[in-house]
Amino acid sequence: MIPEINLLPAYEQEDNRAAILWGSVFLVWLLLLAFVIIQLIVANSEKDMLELRITNLQTEKATLEKALEEKGGAPNLSIGDTVKIAESLKIPTTPILGEINGLLGNGALSTYSFNGQEVSIQTSFQTLVDVAAFIEKLNQHELFSRVSVNSIAEAGDGETEIYIAGFKLGINRHWLLDDGGENDE
């Protein structure tokens, strides 16, 4: 058997451990440096992309503002001022009355009420056929978006019978604002 003889001095053996330790620290430092550099590159590319988006949005904003100015955009009003202006606008009801009277034919208008969105009327007719003809005319007219019959009742003194019909009529506001006053001319 050959005895194991260590010819290196003890201080050189400790240096190997120190070199391994320093090498490990250096390797960890290099990995951290690489991680920081990669993060910097990614952050710069995201920054460039965000700057491009901001530029595109600013261009789009300028284009939309220019288009709004060309169309004669509304002045800057508060919500309260806008509501006051909208409430002050009146919808003409005379064309509604004129159209209903024109469609009545042999009937008569008894009551009329308009709340801005729908009209409630009560009419009287001599026959049910006249009531049906009036309903058909209402359904075909562009002014009325919805026609509902509330009631039809028979009234009379025995010799003459009258049919009293109640209706709710949805109003087509576009027809009223666009065509309402022009039909009479």
pLDDT of residue 55: 92
Residue 1 lies inside a defined structural domain of this protein = no
pLDDT of residue 2: 77
My answer on whether 112 and 41 are in the same domain is no
Q: Which pair of structure tokens corresponds to residue 37? A: 């550099």
Which residues, 6 or more positions from 121, have their beta carbon under 8 angstroms from its beta carbon? 100, 109, 110, 111, 112, 113, 166, 167, 169
- Higher confidence at residue 70 or residue 123? 123
Number of domains composing the chain: 2
| Domain limit, last residue, from 89, 116, 144 | 89
Q: Which pair of structure tokens corresponds to residue 83? A: 């509501």
**CA neighbor of 96 nearest in space, from 118, 66, 81:** 118
pLDDT at 44 over 80: yes
Report which secondary-structure segment, H or E, holds 118. Answer: strand 118-125
Residues 107-114 have a mean pLDDT of: 87
**CA neighbor of 163 nearest in space, from 136, 123, 135:** 123
Domain that holds residue 84: 12-89
Which residues, 6 or more positions from 114, have their beta carbon under 8 angstroms from its beta carbon? 93, 96, 120, 171
pLDDT of residue 107: 86
Residue 80 lies inside a defined structural domain of this protein = yes
pLDDT at 179 over 70: no
